[in-house]
Amino acid sequence: MLLTIEGLTKRYPTGDLALDKVDLQVPAGQVMALIGPSGAGKSTLIRCVNRLVEPSAGRVMLDGVALTTLGSGALRRARRRMGMIFQEYALVERLTVMENVLSGRLGYVGFWASWFRRFPRRDIEEAFRLLDRVGLAHMADKRADALSGGQRQRVGIVRALMQDPKLLLVDEPTASLDPKTSRQIMRLIVELCAERGLAAIINIHDVALAQQFARRIVGLRAGRIVFDGPAEDLRAEGLTAIYGEEDWSQTIRRAEEEEEAATESAA
Amino acid sequence: MSATGLPAATGGAFDPAAAARGWRPPPLIATPWLRYAVYLGALAYALLAFSSIEVNWTRAAEGVERAGRFLGGFFPPDFITKGDDILAGLLESLTMTVVSTGIGIILSIPVALGASRNLAPLPVYLACRGLIAISRTFQEIIIAIVFVAMVGFGPLAGTLTLAFATIGFMAKLIAEDIEDIQASQAEAVRATGASWFQLLAWGVLPQVRPRLIGLSAYRLDINFRESAVLGLVGAGGIGDTLNTSFDRYEFDTAAAVLIVIIVIVLACEYASGFIRRKVQ
């Protein structure tokens, strides 16, 4: 098992219980979608894995290393194996595309080397290779804020891959993108995970997208896991358990139609 | 309930035209009696204040005549007679300005980091905010008097004064900029496994750099103007030259010094404005 979460609990200083004894296991290479209503604890869960948010209780193990007990130096080394992709891309806007991509290597180089942007040649090569893979090699010296939303998210993905991760933590990657770009970004993430054998936890609001691109879906409601199963097993009962009572027939039908459309166009 | 799920309108009973006629822009003070009390009070105060002014017009006229003679002494400005003194004072002022701005900025950066609530723990934050408050509470002249008492007359006292004032000014404004950064960008840098200093260099600095450069240019400009004043309390610089020329009734030399100050302040202001426009 690549990632093992046991009894993970997070209570914020305000008293809000964001996660309530969550147990979750993710094997190597599995792409998993984490769905749930706003405030269910999705963001908190992935941030407790790389400890951008400190969990209140519980254990997180990555590849046999207990992340929850690491000191700050060891935590930084462990974070290198977990690439993160963000909702609003979270690129450093005044840096160039290449600088943003190379920032994925910060955990591997010393302070002064990074200050003078003296990264190893093979890192820069890898950066160009990955930028080319997502079709942005010609944008390397553009400032990040000159890019469109879809382009920025592709840079965000490359930055995460530069860390040479085992696991991707993906937080609402498509929330600020149009439907077509959303699908392209999701497809890219899933393809890259397959190419490199990466596991991924993808927080996502769009149930149809989740079903289309992830094989496993975990539903979170009020800090507890209320659904965990293959994408095709998610039906109206499951959605009601996650989100509450609503007419789900359109949502599910839409997802199935899109899958059919996708297979037809692929054929 | 209407089809949209919004509460139903009141129907035929509502007359938009009548409502539009009756609508007035909201007044500054909502309570009518308070509003009129404030207006009347202000009017009464103005009347009483004007009636209490005593102007001695003969003395005012004499003053105008004296001012005329005084200003006449300024012409023509004399750059030559005390040219060496003016040049020495000017160079001293410029040296004080550059050195104090440089030292001040370098020292203000750690203080600014400590005074940012999103980076520093509470005790550090309070200490740095306290230092900033002290630096900003006292006017440069007062700080200069203290430093003159400590290290004696001359440009060292002026330099220390300006450096100290620069710390308060820069640290406060930079700290505010650091507190306004987009947390997501810094979080993304942290998520890569970056160290704390790398977080500053890659997540924070790119976001505050334009303001850091702009404020530095602005502070250089301020420090030159202040250096001209500090001479009046014996803290060196061109202010010393100006003060001396007044003491000796050499108004033509004083005029020359003033012109030099004006030209340099204008040049500084133009340059710092240009730099700030460039980095935005």
Residue A22 lies in a domain: no
Contacts for B15 with CB less than 8 Å, ≥ 6 apart: none
Number of domains in chain A: 1
Quick one: pLDDT at residue A254?
A: 57
Mutual angle of helices B238-247 and B205-230, in 10-degree steps = 20
For residue B206, list chain A residues with Cβ-Cβ distance below 8 A: 92-95
Q: Which residues contact A265 (CB under 8 A, 6 or more apart)?
A: none
Residue B2 has pLDDT above 50, yes or no: no
Helix ranges (H only) for B180-204 are: 183-191, 196-198
Interior angle at CA B211, CA B207 and CA B216, nearest 5: 135
CB contact under 8 A, B198 and A111: yes
Contacts of A82 in chain B (CB under 8 A): 191
**pLDDT average, residue stretch B239-244:** 86
Kindly state whether residue A221 falls inside one of the protein's structural domains. no
Residue-wise pLDDT for B96-109, tens only, equals: 999 999 999 999 99
Residue A224, domain member (yes or no): no
Tell me how far CA of residue B158 lies from CA of A261, B99, B185, B222, B245, in angstroms. Answer: 77, 11, 41, 13, 19
**Closest Cα in chain A to B209:** A94
Whether A136 is covered by a domain: the verdict is: yes
What is the domain-level CATH number for residue A175?
3.40.50.300
**Burial class of B227 by CB neighbour count within 10 A (0 to 12, 13 to 18, 19+):** buried
Q: Long-range contacts of range B135-138, CB-CB < 8 Å, 24 or more positions apart?
A: B135/B164, B135/B165, B135/B167, B135/B168, B135/B169, B135/B171, B136/B168, B136/B169, B136/B172
Higher-pLDDT residue of B232 and A258 is B232
**Cα distance from A260 to chain B (closest Cα, Å)?**
33
The per-residue pLDDT for A265 is: 57
- Choose the mutation target among B122, B180, B184, B185 for the interface with A, i.e. most A CBs under 10 Å: B185
Is A223 part of any domain? no
What is the C-alpha end-to-end distance of chain A, expressed in Å? Answer: 35
Pairing of strands A224-230, A216-221: antiparallel
For the beta carbon of residue A234, count every other beta carbon within 10 angstroms: 24
Contact assignment for A90 to B188 by CB distance below 8 Å = yes
Residue A49 within any structural domain of the chain: no
Considering only CB atoms, A114 lies closest to which of B185, B187, B198, namely B198
The minimal CB distance from B188 to the residues A84, A94, A107 is found for A84
What does each C-alpha distance from A162 to A45, A84, A101, A134, B221 come to in angstroms? 23, 11, 7, 13, 44
Distances (CA, A) of A5 to A48, A210, B135: 10, 21, 51
Give whichever of A155-164, A258-267, B52-61, B82-91 has the largest mean pLDDT: A155-164
Quote the CA–CA distance of A113 and A107 in Å, as a whole number: 12
CB burial string A217-229: b at 16+ within 10 A, e below: bbbbbebebbbbe
Residues on chain B touching A118 (C-beta within 8 angstroms): none
Contacts of B194 in chain A (CB under 8 A): 76, 103, 106-107, 114
- Note the pLDDT tens digit of each residue in B202-230: 999 999 999 999 899 889 989 988 888 88
| Domains of chain B as residue ranges with CATH | 27-72 (no CATH), 78-279 (1.10.3720.10)
Identify the domain containing residue A207 by its residue range: 29-38+72-215+231-266
Please say if the pLDDT value at position B1 is more than 60.
Answer: no
Residue in chain B lying closest to A165 (CA): B192
Confidence of residue A46 (pLDDT cuts 50, 70, 90): very high
Residue contact B192–A105, C-beta within 8 A: yes
Of A143, A173, A83, A94, the closest CA to residue B188 belongs to: A83
In a domain, A3, yes or no: no
| Closest to B93 measured CA to CA, from B231, B222, B250, B244 | B231
Q: Does residue A203 surpass a pLDDT of 60?
A: yes
pLDDT greater than 90 at residue B30: no
Rounded to two decimals, the pTM is 0.79
Closest CA to B254 of B98, B126, B70: B70
Does residue A137 belong to any structural domain of this protein?
yes
Dist CA B44 CA A53 (whole Å): 61
Collapse the DSSP code of A69 into the 3-class scheme (helix H, G, I; strand E, B; otherwise coil) and give the result. helix
The Cα–Cα gap between A178 and A151 comes to 12
DSSP secondary structure letters along A23-66: EEEE-TT-EEEEE--TTSSHHHHHHHHTTSS--SEEEEEETTEE
- Give the nearest partner residue to A52 out of B190, B198, B207, using CB atoms: B190
